[in-house]
Chain A
Amino acid sequence: MPDYYLSYLYVFVFFATGAVFVAALLTLSSLVQPKKPTAEKLRTYESGEEPVGPAWGRYPTHFYIFALLFVVFDVEVIFLFPWAVLFRDLGWYGLVEMGIFIFILVAGLYYAWRKDALRWY
């Protein structure tokens, strides 16, 4: 097995260990802890008041707008990484190409800015 795959085996094993470790810790905790559930104890916390309805309802749309903007910029960033590594080989051609790409996105950001999409009410 070459080193390349061995590296990613490390990543995979670390992920799995994280989950196993948390499970082990919680199991250890559940072995030593007292368990005396009551109806009041298991009620959703709402600053001591009786909870009014479930929390799974409507919530403000700003989050949605920012998530949309984020998706656009995150895709941009994914393209930036390979360009940044090969930056010196690509030279001015690569810079101009990337400049056009970023300019389109910045124009979009400017549009969102002028439309007040970036304002939090």
Chain B
Amino acid sequence: MVEGPFGIDPVLWAVLRLAIAIVLVIALIMNGALLLIYLERKMQAVMQDRIGPYHVGPFGLLQTFADAIKLIAKEDVRASQTDATFFIAAPALVFSPMLAAFVVVPFAPPIVGADLSIGLLYLTTLGAMGVLGIVIAGWASNNKYALMGGLRSAGQLISYEIPQILSLVTAVLVLGTLSMVEITELQPGPITNIFVLPLAFVTFFMAALAETNRTPFDLPEAESELVAGYLTEYSGMRWGTMLALTEYGNVTIVCAIMTTLWFGGWNGPGVEAFPILGILWFTLKTYAFILVFMWIRATLPRLRIDQLMSFCWKGLIPLTLLNLGVTAALLLAFPDTLVPVAIANWLLLGAFALGLPALQRRRLRRIRARLGAGAMPAPRSAS
């Protein structure tokens, strides 16, 4: 137990520090959701050649505030067929794990809730707990769309959890620790983990998109098929807690993991002199990733469910297992240098980036051949 600042009694400081941490994290989640929803709308508007929100406040900045007030004042409809206990419990069941994940996020050298020695394992565990809340929400709604959405969500989230964790394990092989603070301290310079393990980063990024239900993997909430998926029966602030707060909180968490593991977390110019500056670097890096998530949402169409599952089980899982094996063998063969690991990883990434489109083209050719020339429009080169 550490002595508090200004000579505060250690026991009192421990309680006070906990209270401050909770208030800060809740403020971060609320403000983050308000800001990110505004950013998402504005960015999508710009990318689709629209203006986006502009009526409420300067540049429409207060639009999400107005929406939040409207959500709080909205009637909370719970259909009579629902299972009351679980329907009411579900928002808390998805929100709590997301909130608890912020305990281990290292914002700056002095600012981290609790530096657990099993930080990464803890984060993956919480990711799995979120699935439970979503399935319960889908089941308790007693609505066909919600049930299918919840089950799809379970199928998707548990499938993509495996490549996600395998990518994390690959990074842990190189780093040798699960503590988020130690991981950050291991990458002080401009050469961070991304140069050593680019493929693990790319596979983690894809799995993270699926884990947070973001496009192109937003099948649990596919509007064109399932209305709103597991959220169909939710309205008012229950919906606001589950979608606005939890989803954007989860996006923040996975982006924070990427920042910490591959991009050196709080490290940046001037952090040695002013440790508090770490917050700035950490936030900038994390938000850069969130913006990429939004960019992808504006760019890519949604996958089909069979494509989604086969991409995970036949593509990502074998690839991450291969990457894990190669990384482990090279680390043992060359214990003093990371250069062979880095070269192998970049080569594998190149093979993945070039090989995937080639495989898809071959598959398409086969399907065309099986169906005969007239069944499908001929490829452009043949006409």
Contact = CB atoms under 8 A, between A and B. Distances in A.
Asked whether A and B interact, the reply is yes
Interface of A: 1-3, 6-11, 13-15, 17-19, 21-23, 25-26, 28-30, 32-37, 41-47, 51, 54-56, 59, 62-63, 66-67, 69-70, 73-74, 77, 80-81, 84-85, 87-88, 91-92, 95, 98-99, 102, 106, 109, 113, 118-121
Interface in B100-154: 100, 102-103, 113-116, 120-122, 128, 139, 141-148, 151, 154
Contact of B310 (A28, A41, A99, A118): A118
Contacts of A73: 162, 317
Contacts of B81: 43-44, 51, 54
Contacts of A26: 76, 91, 237-238, 241
Interface of B: 1-2, 14, 18, 21-22, 25-26, 71-82, 91-92, 95-100, 102-103, 113-116, 120-122, 128, 139, 141-148, 151, 154-155, 158-159, 161-162, 165-166, 169, 172-173, 176-178, 227, 232-233, 236-238, 241, 305-306, 309-310, 313-314, 317-318, 321, 324-325, 328-329, 331-332, 335
Given A36-B75, A42-B77, A44-B141, 6 more contacts: A10-B18, A13-B22, A26-B91, A74-B162, A87-B176, A88-B335
A118 B75 contact: no
B114 A85 contact: no
Nearest to A73: B162
B326 to A, nearest CB: 11
The 5 A-B residue pairs with the shortest CB-CB distance, nearest first, are A18-B96, A120-B306, A7-B114, A29-B237, A18-B99
Nearest to A46: B144
A12 B166 CA distance: 27
Contact of B148 (A54, A59, A119): A59
Nearest to A26: B237
B286 to A, nearest CB: 19
A80 B166 CA distance: 8
A29 B236 contact: yes
A6 B17 CA distance: 11
17 contacts: A10-B21, A10-B103, A10-B113, A14-B103, A17-B26, A18-B92, A19-B95, A29-B237, A42-B79, A51-B143, A73-B162, A77-B169, A85-B178, A91-B332, A106-B318, A118-B309, A120-B310
B306 A14 contact: no
B72 to A, nearest CB: 5
Given A11-B114, A56-B142, A63-B151, A17 B162 contact: no
Contacts of B18: 9-10, 13
A23 B93 CA distance: 11
Nearest to A102: B321
B115 A66 contact: no
A37 B77 contact: yes
B121 A18 contact: no
